[in-house]
Structure 1
Amino acid sequence: MEPLKNIYSNELIKNLSDVVYTVDPKITPKTFQSKVFESPWKKFELKERINRIADVFVFFWNEPLHLVEPKLLRLIELLRSNGVQNFNFPYIFVNDIVTKSGLNDFVTSMRVLEKTTVFSSAEFAIRFYYQSHFESTLKQMILWSKHKEAYVRRLASEGGRPLLPWGIGIPEIKRNPDIHLPILENLWDDENEVVRRSVSNHLNDISKMNPDLVLEFCKKRFGVSEVLDKNLKHALRGLLKKGNHNALTIFSYDTKWKPSLLKFTLKQKVVNIGDSLEFEIQFQQKSKNQEKIRIEYKIGFLLANHSYGYKTFKISEKLIPSNEKVKIVKRHSFKKITTRVYYPGIHKITIIFNGREFESLEFKLVNKQ
């Protein structure tokens, strides 16, 4: 898989430089490209490349945000006319230009981010304003939760997540994760799926700190529609994977249910990094009535310090009739990915039914020779 940092290809930077020249003829394409590609560009990872591009803009537009604003908005307008779609991740640097130029100008920053977030999400940029202008930013996010534009409403939820991946930590939010409940109450049944999905992720973050709060929030909102129930279930996914009894009970899983004649086997005990582990589960459902069964497996990944990090993966959830025999064959890939480092050694795998752990096995992960 090609590294994500390569989205900033020579072609993208060249096309961007042409648009910049149209906006500001003082910045020639050659000059802009040269500044972006200055060493150590080739060694930069994704976030460093985003930061470099924003810094180049600030270098050329070294002035207050209210003077940068018209040029930045014109840049976005021209990019759109060239076929760049809204909500486009590679152009997230437009929001960093705002924070670098206007962190001390809250009013102008909010006016500009309200527009730029539609083009490329400002979820990371807004967190710098939480750091510097917490109360004002919170009030702005509540206002944005009622905005007519869906991507602005999404920002109201996504930007305030307690555990936003890649986002800078905001201690006040982690200490008081319920501080955004007014926003989530406004948006949980939003007409737009991208907004509702953000609310689900926000609630899932909160559930890691205050599970009872999220359980109560979701429990009293189930039943409005099948679509909304799906979003609420997504909000509870972390608690379901942890085997939280109350979360499982909401979805009618019997946490006392046990599989009969359980047989759990691994096809191989040694797996090369880059290959897959294949395993098989066999059991019988011997309850008198059909049972709703959630089947998962948990892998204990060996870490660099020789401890284990655990992650749960869902296999299926379904109604199983009485006396039915079930056979499941599953593969788990150990293909190299950017979000996890695999360490050779003994790993563990455990089978889970309705939140309860049953059989566990070990296998050895090795580097290909």
Structure 2
Amino acid sequence: MEPLKNIYSKDWIKNLSLVVSKVDSKITPNEFQKKVLESPWKEYELKERINRLADVFLFFWNEPLTHIEPKLIRLIELLKTNGAQNFNFPYIFVNDIVSKAGLEDFDTSMRILEKTTVFSSAEFAIRFYYQNHFVPTLKQMQIWSKHKEPYVRRLASEGSRPLLPWGIGIPEIKRNPEVHLPILKQLWNDENEVVRRSVSNHLNDISKINPDLVLEFCKNRFGVSAILDKNLKHALRGLLKKGNQDALSFFSYDTKWKPKDFQFYLKQKKIKIGDSLEFTIEFQQKSKESKMIRMEYKIGFLLAKKTYGYKIFKISEKLIPPNENVKIIKKHSFKLITTRVYYPGVHTISIVFNGREYEKLEFILENKK
């Protein structure tokens, strides 16, 4: 798969420069392209490229945010005229232009971000305002949680997540994740799925800091609709993977259930990086009544310092009738991906039923020749 940073190709930059020159005739397309692509652009990763784009705009627009505002709005209008859709990730730098130029102009920044977040989410930019203007930003997010535009409502949840990937850390949110409960209570049953999904991710973040807070939030909210129950389950996914008994009990999992005649074996004990590990599990469900079973497998990945990092993967979950014989064959790919580095050596794999771990096996991961 091509690195995500390559969305900013030379052709993409060229097309952007043509639009920029229409917004500001003082900027020629060649000047803009040259400034963006100057060394060490080729070595930059995705976040560095986003940062460079914002800095280039501010190189040409070295002026107060109030003067930048009409140009930025015009830029978005022209981009949309040329076919760009709302909630468009490559243009996320427009929000960085705001935070870089107007961190001390809170009111203007909020006015602009309310518009730009619809075009490309301001979830990362808003965190700089939390860092520098915590209370006013919190109040603004509470106001936005009732906004008519769903992408603005989403920002109120997504931008305030305690553990937002890529986002700068906000210690006060980590220390007091309950500060955003009023926003989550407002949005958990929002009419828009993109908003509800953000709330689920926010709650999952909190569950890593304060599980009881999330369990209390969720326990009396089940049963409104199947869709909302699904969102709540997504919020509890981290706790479910950890085998949290309270979280499991919300979904009728019997944590005391045990498989009968359980067998677990690997097709091969040695595989190469790039290949797949195939394994088989067999068991009987001997209870007198049907049981809801959540089946997962847990891999212990060997790390650089010869310690292990563990990750749980879902196999399936289903209601299994009495006296059912179950056989499942599964593969786990060790194909190279950008989000994980594989180290050759002994790894482990175990099976998890309803939060309880069964039988750990070892296998050897080898370098591909």
Distance 1:70 1:274 in 2: 51
Per-residue CA deviations over 1:218-245 (Å, capped at 9, x if unaligned) read 1111110110000001000000000000
Show the counterpart of 1:257: 257
1:305, distance to aligned residue in structure 2 (A): 1.1
1:121, distance to aligned residue in structure 2 (A): 0.4
Per-residue CA deviations over 1:15-43 (Å, capped at 9, x if unaligned) read 00000000001111100000000000000
Distance 2:272 2:48 in 1: 32
Show the counterpart of 1:297: 297
Show the counterpart of 1:323: 323
Code of the aligned partner of 1:5: K
Distance 1:59 1:198 in 2: 34
Q: Structure 1 residue runs of 4+, over 6 Å off?
A: none
Code of the aligned partner of 1:226: A
Distance 1:349 1:251 in 2: 26
**Structure 1 unmatched ranges of 5 or more:** none
Alignment of 1:234-273 (within 5 A): 234-273=234-273
Code of the aligned partner of 2:68: V
1:270, distance to aligned residue in structure 2 (A): 1.3
Aligned to 1:287, the other structure's residue is in SS state: coil
Most deviating of 128-137 and 269-278: 269-278
Aligned to 1:17, the other structure's residue is in SS state: helix
1:48, distance to aligned residue in structure 2 (A): 0.4
Aligned to 1:306, the other structure's residue is in SS state: coil
Distance 1:302 1:95 in 2: 39
1:232 aligns with 2:232: yes
The alignment's C-alpha RMSD in Å is 0.6
Aligned to 1:311, the other structure's residue is in SS state: strand
Show the counterpart of 1:135: 135
Aligned to 2:346, the other structure's residue is in SS state: strand
Distance 2:75 2:8 in 1: 17
1:209, distance to aligned residue in structure 2 (A): 1.0
Most deviating of 127-136 and 339-348: 339-348
Distance 1:269 1:168 in 2: 42
Show the counterpart of 2:190: 190
Distance 2:306 2:4 in 1: 29
1:340, distance to aligned residue in structure 2 (A): 1.1
Aligned to 1:101, the other structure's residue is in SS state: helix
Per-residue CA deviations over 1:143-165 (Å, capped at 9, x if unaligned) read 00000000000000000000000
Distance 1:328 1:10 in 2: 48
Distance 2:265 2:129 in 1: 52
Aligned residues: 369
Distance 2:176 2:164 in 1: 15
1:54 aligns with 2:57: no
Show the counterpart of 1:160: 160
Distance 2:147 2:7 in 1: 31
Distance 2:245 2:45 in 1: 41
Alignment of 1:115-154 (within 5 A): 115-154=115-154
1:68, distance to aligned residue in structure 2 (A): 0.3
**Structure 2 unmatched ranges of 5 or more:** none
Code of the aligned partner of 1:179: V
Show the counterpart of 1:280: 280
Alignment of 1:199-238 (within 5 A): 199-238=199-238
